[in-house]
Amino acid sequence: MAVIVAVAVNTDGRREILGITVMPSEAETFWAGFLRSLTRRGLRGVKVVISDAHEGLKSATGKVLGAGWQRCRVHFMRNLLGRVGKTNKPVVSAAVKTVFAETDRNQVHARWREVADSLRERFRDVAELMDEAEHDVLAYMTFDKSLRSKLHSTNPLGRVNKEIKRRTNVVGIFPNREAVVRLVGALMLEQNDEWAVSRRYMPVEKLTDVCNDTDAATMIAAQ
């Protein structure tokens, strides 16, 4: 069973917990059901969903929310480096990181293709993954520079997930799904209260630029 947590940034620039669930798998049908439960509770105007490479979530995101998808850059690098031997990891990693150093949207795509082509002869699997994932990994580049560091990965969820794991490991085995929801739900309520009084996570003026007059701009990270 997987515990799913969705965290959003609202139009006030603050993070909030949108919802949690416990799912038997991460297939599209379960992701779609979870996202629909959020829309029934009033979620609107989602601009982008950030996650690792869940094809089910990616598909459900477009169908249910009509939003874009950002593939977590950190998870992508792990997947990429998993395709090369230990001795070659530093070389491949350094090459790909030159892409992420670019700040211009057009140049970052050009650099991505240059790196993929330069690696193609020695690391065909790496180049093919780069060909496949280019637009998903670089989706964050369509946003303002001040927002990009918060959008390119699910790293901001790290602390939340770490605390969930710490508390659930103490229990070990749960009698049923409801027991998991009660424990994790209580933790998330505490986290939501903390975020409500903390400093803004994103600048309001920049978020306003990605809003329209009737919809809220919401960035979701799910993991």
How much is the pLDDT for 206?
83
Percent of the chain with pLDDT over 70: 94
- The model's confidence at residue 218, banded by pLDDT at 50, 70 and 90, is low
Q: Is the pLDDT of residue 31 over 60?
A: yes
pLDDT of residue 213: 39
Tell me, what amino acid is at 160? V
Q: What is the pLDDT of residue 25?
A: 79
Count CB neighbours of 204 within 10 A: 12
Q: What's the whole-number mean pLDDT along residues 39-64?
A: 91
pLDDT of residue 212: 57
CA 5 to mean position of chain CA atoms: 11
Which residues, other chains included, contact 85 with Cβ-Cβ below 8 Å and sequence gap of 6+? none
Q: Is the pLDDT of residue 41 over 80?
A: yes
- Amino acid identity of 106? N
Average pLDDT of the chain, as a whole number:
91
pLDDT for res 214: 42
Per-residue pLDDT at 220: 63
Q: For 42, which DSSP code?
A: T
pLDDT digit string (tens) for 101-138?
999 999 999 999 999 999 999 999 999 999 999 999 99
Residue 218: phi and psi, rounded to 5, are -130, 130
User: In this structure, how many other beta carbons lie within 10 angstroms of the beta carbon of residue 187?
Assistant: 19
Summarize pLDDT for 150-188 with one digit per residue, the tens: 999 998 888 899 999 999 999 989 999 999 999 999 999
For range 187-197, the mean pLDDT: 94
pLDDT band of residue 210 (cuts 50, 70, 90) is: confident
- Over residues 49-72, the mean pLDDT reads 92
Distance separating alpha carbons of residues 205 and 61, to the nearest angstrom: 26
pLDDT grade for 205, boundaries at 50, 70 and 90: confident
